[in-house]
Amino acid sequence: MRKRLLWAVSLAVLGCSRPTPVDQSAPARPADRQSDAEARPAAASDEAPAVAERAIDPLYGAVAAGAESPARLLNRYVLDLLNGNQAGIDDAWAIAPPDARRADDAVLRLLPDVRNLRLDSDPAVPRDAQQPPRLLEVPVRIRASTAEGQFRYHGWYRVQPRADGQGWQIQSAQLQPTLD
C-alpha cells in the first residue's frame, strides 16, 4: 500500500513540474509578434545593468579592472618569502620595513629553514567607509613547515591600492601563533 502511495505521489509531482509543451509548428499570431518585439528590448535593457554589475566587484573597485586580487597578492608574497626573494617581498608592501625584525609579519620572516609555507585566506572585509573601499582586511591562516616542526598562525593583512591604481599593496599585518 505504501509503495503505491509513494508511486502515485511521485507521478503527481513529476506531472506538475513539467512545463506544458508549446507547438512550434503553428505560426505566431501578429499580436504575439508585436508583444514579443516590445518585450525583447525591455528584457535586454534589464539584463545589461545586471551583466555590468557582475563584471566588476564593488569591493575591488579601487583598482583597475582585471588587477590582481588581494588574495593573489598575498599568495605571491608568501611564495617570495619561501624563496627568499627580497625584491618581491619589499615590492608587496606599500612601505617596506627596513629591518625584518621590525616587520608586522616578523614571525614569518624570521623563521629559520622554512621548507613549506601555506596561506589560506578568507574573503576581504572593507575597513573604511569609502565607496569603493580603499582599505581591505584579508583574514589569513598560515602553516609553516621548518626543520623544527610545523608552526601555525592566524591573523590578517590589510591591503590598499597601489599609487598607480593597477593593483594592491600590503599596508599592515597582524599574525598570532595558533595552538593545535
pLDDT value of residue 127: 93
**Which domains can be identified in the chain, with CATH numbers?**
60-177 (3.10.450.100)
Residue 120, C-alpha cell as written in the block: 589560506
pLDDT of residue 104 exceeding 50, the answer is yes
Name the band, by pLDDT with cuts 50, 70 and 90, for residue 57.
confident
pLDDT of residue 135 exceeding 60, the answer is yes
Residue 78, C-alpha cell as written in the block: 608568501
pLDDT of residue 8 exceeding 50, the answer is yes
Residues with Cβ within 8 Å of 179's Cβ and at least 6 positions away in sequence, in order, are none
How far apart CA 97 and CA 82 sit, in angstroms, is 18
Q: What is the largest CA-CA distance in the chain?
A: 81
pTM above 0.85, yes or no: no
